[in-house]
Amino acid sequence: MTRRRLALVGAVLLVAACVERFTAPGHCPDFCPSGQITIVDTLLTTSINRDSAYRGYVLAYQTPLMLAAHLPGATGILDSRPIFRINGVGSRLVLSTTDTGAIRGADSARLQVRIVRRDTATHNLWLHLYQLRLPIDTSTTFGSVVPFTDSLRSVNIDTLLAQPGRKDPVTGDSVVVDTVNHHLVLSLKLDAAAARYVGTDSGTVAYGIRIAADTLASIAFGKGTFGPVLQWYLRVDSLGKDVARNPAVLGAAFAGFVFAPPPAPLDSTLAVGGVPSAHSLLRVAFPKFIRDSSQIIRGTLFLVPAVPARGAPADSFVIEARTVFADFGGKSPIDPRLGEAVVIHPEKRDTVKIEVTNLLQLWAADSTHPTVLMLRPQLEAQFLGEIRFYPSIAPLVRPTLQVTFVRPFRFGVP
Amino acid sequence: MRRAVGTVVAAVALLTASPPVRLSGQDSQFGIRGLGTPGRWESVRARSTGGAFGPFDGLSPLMEAQLADVAQLTATAAGGTSHRDAEVSGTTTALRATRFPVMGVAGPVGRRFVVAAGFTTYLDKSWDVTLRDSLPLRGVVRPYTDEITSDGSVTDVRLAAASRLSRRIAIGAAVHVLAGSTRMTAERRFDDSTFHPVQQSADVRYDGLGVSGSVLIGLAPGLSIAGWARSDNRLRAKVADTTSAVTDLPLMAGGGLLIVPSASARFAAAAAWRSWSKAGAGAFDTWSWSAGAEFGSRRMPIRLGVRGGQVPFGPGPKAPTEVAGSLGTGRAFAQGRAFVDLGLERLERRGGGLTERVWTVLVGLTVRP
């Protein structure tokens, strides 16, 4: 019995003893440690040097989007047009396991394109579909295909969306709103006149799209998984008699976009974004006293735009600052681990601030890491927008770095 | 016998199983700005009498001469849990800590000498301070919260020897190695999360050396006096093998009086002086006194005590003061081979606008195998 009581008392005392609580509000200076955390904020105005811009990282046909735009700007109208080629099934079609027939033509066709990005504030959005002359490929330029002349169809997207069931009973066009991905899946019916299956071209067709709207028009079409696709409704010769056949849905063998005017040539400014995408490299002379003996708690890169950012107002784009594994100029391999991003609003000329704390902390932790910042668009060549910043050779508006750091705490000093 | 073994096992578990095993004494907010909070070099028995029995208790590491009366190999350990209310500017904070301030072993070597080894807390340096403030940064006033912590202590590792020169006189001496470390952290969190949290930490290591000597004189049957002195050189603090501070340590001296009028009543008083002002600004020389009594048989005594004095570190021109009352008891088991001592202490410290009130529950275990 006594042992049980002792065990109980022991257990209670043990539980009570297990709890430690030291934390108390400090009443300084009388009952605080003598050492204090010392914060220093410094503006490094001359630490960024040997900066330059490079273009050509991602080309128009390499992006997962086809950009369509019709935007008045300071240098004229920015006109961007998707173009794509869909290879046909050939001049003959398999009718049965033992028989093929010559394709005599197409009764109709249905082209499906997917609008993956649009400005809902843009009204009266027209989509004009043109057939283009073959061939079109990665070397096709704006000048080689524009003006589009062979008009096939014109569709008003807003009108179609307002139709009951989002389907036009007259033209056979329809639109489906993909609420999950916020896409518009547009299905255009091409009648016999527009659906031209030319056997000598193996049924290959090329189309171009031009858009227009009451206000600034800028949208993006998907490609690859997100279209465009074409369904042919063919007439095939079977022992002298035409029979209807529907071959498999065909995807685009080539999809891209062409635009004009092209981006201005690179100069001494630091260009970021655009198509083909441009990167800018900034070399930072990171002060040893910050790197070696302190903890960085905030770092901000200040960049002054040399010109207002180009692009549609609704097409804000994101640029990011990253560091590189090694400094090979424009071909420096980018370190994918850490990146700091900022949204660029076209036509604005405010100073751009990018928080680069994580990058500076990386440099402080790894003294072998090159102290180089690479500015690039987060989505390469998926926006026409481009921004250009003043370089380090512009003394009053050069890139600067503001660093807030903590001096080493004086531990062990009473 | 079985009951005694069970009790000893429970006491051992209580002393050793608590997770926050720190060989340190009692914390105080007064020690934050100074070197720390000096430890109490007393067994639970001595502390239950206000410390008055410290010069005469063979298991208290205050002196060495009384070791001469340790007749057989003896090991002791003490643990204590403190509940502390720190009140400053009308704000009271409840704090709690568990400490193991004394561990030691002593035994005779040959016929004339008794040697002892053990460790006790020299300075407790465990505290955690939070602070709310703001500072202008990048043109905006930024509120932040600081938390600065220290966790650890400076331990006094003692090797002592004592000898009884005659029936009336015993002397002793010891060398003290001061060693220990604290894990210190300094954190700052801004309300604005664009500023990353500040987090710095370091292990601070301490070292120092000291010597002490003491004498115990029996003036008459039932009447003894004791005197002791100690000198430590300096406390060196090193961070990553770089000396960050060197602080002079105090000279200390003290004495005590023991009166034993009968087998069931023992009275003692003690006083000590310490020149802590050598430690620098904000440190003061201190006097401390204590008086206590022990009644009943040694198998299960009742102990009472009071003590008072000064705290060596604090703000302002005067040393903070402290006063405490204590009581306790003990129980012998296993035919006197094991002792469990229990104590309860109420302490109050005042100074510089701060008042600390502390309840401390003490448990001691002594084994004579």
**A260, A277, A311: which is the final residue of a domain?**
A260
Same domain for A192 and A126: yes
Q: Which residues does chain A have within 8 Å of residue B32's beta carbon, measured at their own beta carbons?
A: 31-33
Whether residue B86 lies within 8 A of chain A, CB to CB, comes out as yes
Structural domain total, chain A: 2
Q: Do B126 and A27 touch (CB under 8 A)?
A: no
Helix intervals (H) in A182-293 = 288-293
Q: What is the DSSP string of B192-205?
A: STTSPPEEEEEEEE
pLDDT score, position A65: 94
Same domain for A292 and A186: no
Q: Do A37 and B130 touch (CB under 8 A)?
A: no
- What are phi and psi for residue A42, nearest 5 degrees? -135, 145
Least confident of A12-21, A202-211, B200-209: A12-21
Q: Give chain A's length.
A: 414
Of B136, B143, B137, B132, nearest in space to B191 by CA:
B143
Q: Which residues does chain B have within 8 Å of residue A293's beta carbon, measured at their own beta carbons?
A: none
Q: What is the mean pLDDT of residues B230-253?
A: 94
Least confident of A310-319, A371-380, B126-135, B359-368: A310-319
pLDDT score, position A18: 55
Least confident of A205-209, A306-310, B265-269: A306-310
Does A385 reside within a domain? yes
Confidence band for B10, pLDDT divided at 50, 70 and 90: very low
pLDDT score, position A98: 83
- What are phi and psi for residue B278, nearest 5 degrees? -65, -20
Does A180 reside within a domain? yes
Same domain for A383 and A327: yes
Please write the tens of the pLDDT for every residue from B169-210. 999 999 999 999 999 999 999 999 999 999 999 999 999 999
The shortest C-alpha distance from A327 to chain B (Å) reads 28
pLDDT score, position B12: 42
Confidence band for B262, pLDDT divided at 50, 70 and 90: very high
Ordered by where they begin, the domains of chain B are 2-367 (2.40.160.60)
Residue B230 has pLDDT above 70, yes or no: yes
Q: What is the mean pLDDT of residues B125-142?
A: 92
Does A413 reside within a domain? no
Other CB atoms within 10 A of residue B90 CB:
6
Least confident of A282-296, B212-226, B320-334: A282-296
User: Which of 163-222 (B) contact A at CB < 8 A?
Assistant: 182, 184, 186, 188, 190, 194-200, 202, 204
Percent of chain B with pLDDT over 70: 93
Does A315 reside within a domain? yes
pLDDT score, position A76: 75
The shortest C-alpha distance from B112 to chain A (Å) reads 40
Give the span between the Cα atoms of B142 and B122, in whole angstroms.
Answer: 40
**A243, A260, A277: which is the final residue of a domain?**
A260
Using the CB atoms, write b or e for B175-193: b if 16+ within 10 Å.
Answer: ebebbbbbebbbbbbbeee
Same domain for A199 and A52: no
Residue A269 has pLDDT above 50, yes or no: yes
Please write the tens of the pLDDT for every residue from B136-147. 999 999 999 999
Does A6 reside within a domain? no
The shortest C-alpha distance from B4 to chain A (Å) reads 9
Q: What is the mean pLDDT of residues B51-55?
A: 96
Q: What is the DSSP string of A102-152?
A: EEEEEEEEEEEEEEEE--TT--S-EEEEEEEPSP--TT--HHHHPSP-EEE
Q: Do B195 and A404 touch (CB under 8 A)?
A: yes
> How high is the mean pLDDT of chain B?
90
Whether residue B361 lies within 8 A of chain A, CB to CB, comes out as yes
Please write the tens of the pLDDT for every residue from B96-118. 888 888 999 999 998 889 999 99
Does A13 reside within a domain? no
Confidence band for B5, pLDDT divided at 50, 70 and 90: very low
**A227, A260, A293: which is the final residue of a domain?**
A260
pLDDT score, position A13: 58
Same domain for A204 and A317: no
Same domain for A379 and A318: yes
Q: Quick one: tokens of A355?
A: 């928080």
Confidence band for B34, pLDDT divided at 50, 70 and 90: confident
Q: Smallest Cβ distance to B13: which of A14, A34, A409? A: A14
Confidence band for A262, pLDDT divided at 50, 70 and 90: confident
Report the CATH number at residue A276: 2.60.120
Name the residue of chain B whose CA is nearest to A42's CA.
B138
Same domain for A289 and A270: yes
The shortest C-alpha distance from B195 to chain A (Å) reads 5
Same domain for A125 and A218: yes
pLDDT score, position A195: 86
> How high is the mean pLDDT of chain A?
88
Does A3 reside within a domain? no
Confidence band for A74, pLDDT divided at 50, 70 and 90: low
Confidence band for B4, pLDDT divided at 50, 70 and 90: very low
Give the span between the Cα atoms of B12 and A77, in whole angstroms.
Answer: 88
pLDDT score, position B359: 95
Percent of chain A with pLDDT over 70: 94
DSSP designation for B29: G
- Which range marks the domain in which residue A292 is found? 39-58+265-406
CA dihedral A254, A260, A261, A262 (to 10 degrees): 0
Alpha carbon separation from A84 to A57, A136, A140, A223, A224 (Å, rounded): 22, 8, 11, 9, 11
- Using alpha carbons only, give the angle A201, A202, A206 rounded to the nearest 5 degrees: 60
pLDDT score, position A197: 87
Q: Is beta strand B286-295 parallel, antiparallel or unpaired with respect to B302-310? A: antiparallel
Please write the tens of the pLDDT for every residue from B269-306. 999 999 999 998 889 999 999 999 999 988 889 999 99
pLDDT score, position A411: 86
pLDDT score, position B1: 43
| pTM, rounded to two decimals | 0.78
Least confident of B14-18, B55-59, B339-343: B14-18
Same domain for A233 and A131: yes
Does A254 reside within a domain? yes
Decide which of B199 and A17 is more confident: B199
pLDDT score, position A1: 52
Q: Do B354 and A22 touch (CB under 8 A)?
A: no
Beta-bridged to residue A175, according to DSSP, are A186
Same domain for A344 and A286: yes
Residue B336 has pLDDT above 80, yes or no: yes
Q: What is the mean pLDDT of residues A377-388?
A: 92
pLDDT score, position A7: 63
Confidence band for A11, pLDDT divided at 50, 70 and 90: low
pLDDT score, position A371: 94
Give the span between the Cα atoms of A65 and B259, in whole angstroms.
Answer: 99
Q: Do A410 and B98 touch (CB under 8 A)?
A: no
Confidence band for A288, pLDDT divided at 50, 70 and 90: confident
Give the span between the Cα atoms of B75 and B68, in whole angstroms.
Answer: 15
Same domain for A301 and A388: yes
Same domain for A290 and A397: yes
pLDDT score, position B312: 94
